[in-house]
Amino acid sequence: MSKPTKELKSTPFTEVIELERIVTSDEEKRVDHIFVRRQKICTRHPEGFATEEVARFDIVWPEEPKEELNDSIKFNEEVEISIN
């Protein structure tokens, strides 16, 4: 089971600006690889202290609904074979 991912958001103390986002899909693992580069600015600092950070995480694709087998298909049917 995977953990939910919480995106970083602006608060009264920090402003978050997203600079770059790259989403790469992986068909084999059924996930999206996310790369985010963002800048955080401390609004309470007199000079507006800014830092840059990089985050990488995966988002799992939802499971596809499974198809049900038809009851009309019988796997153990008896078949007569005639040898001439």
* pTM score of the predicted model: 0.61
Phi, psi of 9 (to 5 degrees): -125, 160
Q: How far apart are the first and last CA of the chain?
A: 59
Reading the block at residue 21, the tokens are 């986002």
Domain ranges of the chain: 14-60
pLDDT tens string, the chain, 84 residues long: the values are 566 777 888 999 999 999 999 999 998 989 999 999 999 999 888 887 899 999 998 888 888 777 765 555 555 666 677 776
Q: Which of 36, 35, 45 lies closest to 13 in space, CA to CA?
A: 45
Residue 44 CB: number of other CB atoms within 10 A? 9
